Amino acid sequence: MLHYSNSLLLPALFGGAGAAMATGPLKPGRDIYRSIGVEPVINCRGTFTIIGASVELPEVRAAMEAAAQQFVQLDELADAVGRRLAELTGAEWGMVSAGCAAGLKHVTAACVSGGNPEKLLRIPDLAGLDKTEVVAPRSARSVYDHAVRNAGVKMITVDTIEELEAALSPRTAMIYLSAGGSGPFALENVARLAKPRGIPILVDAAAEILTIPNVHLERGATVVAYSGGKAICGPQCAGLLLGRKDILMSAWQASSPHHGPGRDNKVGREETLGMLAAVEAWVKRDHDAEWKKWLSYLDTISTRLSKIDGVRTAVHEPTGLSNKSPMLTVSWDPAQLHVSGEEIAEEVARTKPRIALGAGPLWRRRGAEPEPGPPKTSINITAWMMQPGDDRVVADRLFEVLSRKRDPKPAPPAPAANLSGRWDVEVTYFSSKSHHTLTLEQNGNLLQGSHQGDFSVRDVHGTIEGDQIRLQSTDAKPGDVITFTFAGAYAGDGFSGPVYMGEYLNANFTARRRPFPQRRGRIMIPGGPPLAN
């Protein structure tokens, strides 16, 4: 169990280094973010939307600036861009959407409506429509399939290829897959079932590099969807759809500027031509030279950190298509340096210069089982979104943090209370309140039990150290995960504090012990059935 001081954990989860800066008038230029009180981040994490994903190519910015200077009829623009994307990629047709998730929504709407506007305008009320179901392997379900579900379809989740075949019916609008599926759910296997039935397959390849000719279309996909603002380095608010022209024309019909369920996913003329410029640039870019540049960044950092006693470094070069970037893993024995990878990542994320990187137990980072011997902890640096000069800043910063002398962590203080029992918990969100229940068992400093939320009961675990209480539960279901981290202080007859919910931001809670019913006494067990009701 990790032990964080309040000074490190709480400000970080409330907003971090940028939250305390003064806000002033916007000043365009290198310090545009600092001018309004937001401290920029060096991206050693990858193309995560939460930190801006990628940096647009100069060709993209130039195309968007030029596109903004004139007016154009958007259907004519979409037709011309679709044709040009087909020429560049070898796909039958192409379409630009307002991000990859918007593209997933538009394709789903296309498969439900078939290009019939009377059906399109019924979405998400699919009563009376014939195509109302989407089939997906459990491995393909994620937070991103909200974009599919937004069309009102019924999601049918399957665990075997036999279940998938049995789930296909005249109601099936499409099959939804995540790129990179293997084994029974390999794209070729699914296509063999879908093609004879005329069922489209949508492949979500958001974080992948673009392949020409497209590997997913060659293996049987009907449409493949990419994020424009990740590997392709196009506009952050653009997505790329490649595949069958009839379905993509129906998807364009379901997209803004047309009215209907996709009007809220507007893609402008600037993003449209910026996305096309990114694909034009993709086919000309020297990808081998980019890879060597990224490796040089990692070499700068590795050379610096390898001089620290007990620190080991290793470069991993992935061969898959998704998040394809070299990554440097920096590992050590936490008992030797008295610090974990998570603590290092938290410190450099919240203090200047701010650096976003990954962290965790070494075996978990590698997706393997724990190694024999002393457990190792690690941080990892992903190179592909680093900018020139970032490598030296990161190397110096991590050297300073990792080489700092630290004392062993002290034993946790004795608990200030025994929390065993049931607790009524009021959770205050931004604009509502909910009533939850915690049922806890305490063993020394350790806590475990259950957390009943609005719709489910899940396990909870945590600690009490002095009067400081930390509890965590995870509500997981196909497509979604919500983690509740309670950080409370015990006082009087209860405890209260903030609740951290990751991407869903923060709330506050107050817990009060629930008294047991006052009715007590001996219970009689009957000797037979009742003689009266």
Given this model, what pLDDT does residue 363 score?
A: 44
Q: 498-504 long-range CB contacts below 8 Å, 24 or more apart? A: 498/10, 498/13, 498/14, 499/427, 500/13, 503/50
Superfamily of domain 287-402: Aspartate Aminotransferase, domain 1 (3.90.1150.10)
For CATH 3.40.640.10, the residue range(s) in the chain are 58-282
The DSSP call for residue 23 is P
Q: Record the tokens describing residue 429, joined without a space.
A: 């969100």
For CATH 3.90.1150.10, the residue range(s) in the chain are 287-402
Please work out, in degrees rounded to the nearest 5, the angle formed at the alpha carbon of residue 157 by the alpha carbons of 151 and 161.
125
Q: How far apart are the first and last CA of the chain?
A: 55
What mean pLDDT do residues 463-487 have? 96
What mean pLDDT do residues 62-72 have? 98
pLDDT of residue 159 exceeding 50 = yes
Q: Record the tokens describing residue 108, joined without a space.
A: 């789903």
3-state secondary structure of 4: coil
pLDDT of residue 9 exceeding 60 = no
58-282 sits in which CATH class?
Answer: alpha beta
Residue where the block lists tokens 């973010």: 33
Given this model, what pLDDT does residue 301 score?
A: 98
pLDDT band for position 14 (cuts 50, 70, 90): very low
- Tally DSSP H helices, then E strands, for the chain: 16, 21
Given this model, what pLDDT does residue 21 score?
A: 64
Answer whether CATH 3.30.2320.50 is correct for domain 421-513: no
- 342-353 burial by CB neighbour count: b if 16+ within 10 A, else e? bbbbbbbbbbee
Q: Record the tokens describing residue 361, joined without a space.
A: 């137990």
Mean residue pLDDT of the chain comes to 92
**pLDDT, tens digit, for every residue of 275-312?**
999 999 999 999 999 999 999 999 999 999 999 999 99
- 409-424 burial by CB neighbour count: b if 16+ within 10 A, else e? eeebeebbbebeebbe
For CATH 2.40.128.120, the residue range(s) in the chain are 421-513
Residue where the block lists tokens 């979500």: 204
What mean pLDDT do residues 155-168 have? 97
- Residue 486 belongs to what H/E stretch? strand 480-491
